[in-house]
């Protein structure tokens, strides 16, 4: 059975599930979801699954003022 997927240059590989991914150490990661985002940047804390760590972060609050200025 073949699976279809899509690649976005700025994000993960999206694959129709269920999916099995063989990791570098030979272990198998499985997901039964209908669509799976496989990390390509290796920043994910849930690797091999994408957790959006590849996205640039924006500050929600302004940076603190320099406390050394008079």
| pLDDT tens figures, 35-69 | 999 998 888 898 999 988 887 777 777 767 766 65
Q: Which of 27, 29, 2, 25 is nearest to 15 (CA)?
A: 2
pTM: 0.66
State the Cα–Cα distance between residues 65 and 31, nearest whole angstrom. 45
Query: Hunting for tokens 């999916």 — which residue is that?
Result: 19
Quick check: 25 pLDDT over 90? yes
What mean pLDDT is predicted for residues 13-25?
A: 91
């Amino acid at each position: 059975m073949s699976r279809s997927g899509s690649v976005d240059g700025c994000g993960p590989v999206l694959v129709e599930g269920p999916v099995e991914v063989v990791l570098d150490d030979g272990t198998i990661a499985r997901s039964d979801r209908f669509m799976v985002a496989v990390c390509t940047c290796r920043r994910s804390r849930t690797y091999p699954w994408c957790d959006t760590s590849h996205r640039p972060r924006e500050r929600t609050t302004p940076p603190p003022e320099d406390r050394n200025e008079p």
